[in-house]
Amino acid sequence: MKRRTFLKGTIATSMVGVAVSAGMLSPRAVLAAWPESSFAAKKIEDALNALHGTSAHSESGDIKIKAPDIAENGAVVPITVSAGGNAEAITVLVKENPQPLCCNFELASNAEAFVSTRIKMGKTSDVVAVVKSGGKLMSSAKTVKVTIGGCGG
């Protein structure tokens, strides 16, 4: 009997231990989900490879990028990406930025293929929007002229 109680005790304690460590680990797991290697990548291809496992993408006219032709202030460039139907992810990259990957949006199945945000651009560059849908990558690009860079320096 004693042995049984002892065992029960240990199982209970270990369960608590697991629960605690799981709780402790969850914020870390959230941070780990941030794709560090793709943000560190210096080339669009490398960033896409690290993020989506492939860099193969085809140009698509369905993807609309709404951004100014000339941005006076590179620190704040409003950009809207939209595509018909659904998308699994929308990735925004700036070709000439030190780190091209700007932001990646993962969308649930009930979300529309639409995101709008404001980005920084170091200099005049192509803004590339990549939409992941049905496991395939489709892209569209738009050149934005920047008069004052927004990446410091």
Partner 1 sequence: MASKSIRIRANLKGDVTEVKALMSHPMETGLRKDKKTGEKIPAHFIKEVTAEHKGKSVMVAHWGVAVSKNPYLSFKFKGAAAGDAIKVSWVDNKGESDSEETTVK
- What is the distance of C-alpha 99 from the center of its chain? 13
- Closer residue to partner 1 in complex, CB, 57/105: 105
Q: How far is the CB of 26 from partner 1 (least distance, A)?
A: 12
Side-chain half-sphere of 76: how many Cα atoms within 13 Å?
0
- Closer residue to partner 1 in complex, CB, 141/151: 151
Binding site for partner 1 (CB under 8 A): 27, 30-31, 33-35, 39, 75-78, 80, 94, 97-99, 101-108, 110-112, 114-121, 150-153
CA dist 140 and 93 (Å) reads 11
Tokens representing 101 are: 């990957």
- Closer residue to partner 1 in complex, CB, 97/139: 97
Q: Are 88 and 107 in contact (CB under 8 A)?
A: yes
Q: How far is the CB of 121 from partner 1 (least distance, A)?
A: 8
- Closer residue to partner 1 in complex, CB, 17/98: 98
* Eight-class DSSP state of 45: H
Q: How far is the CB of 79 from partner 1 (least distance, A)?
A: 10
**79 sits in which H/E element:** strand 77-82
- Closer residue to partner 1 in complex, CB, 81/138: 81
Q: How far is the CB of 12 from partner 1 (least distance, A)?
A: 30
Q: How far is CA 74 from CA 2, 77, 81, 82, 124, in A?
A: 72, 6, 18, 22, 9
Q: How far is the CB of 34 from partner 1 (least distance, A)?
A: 5
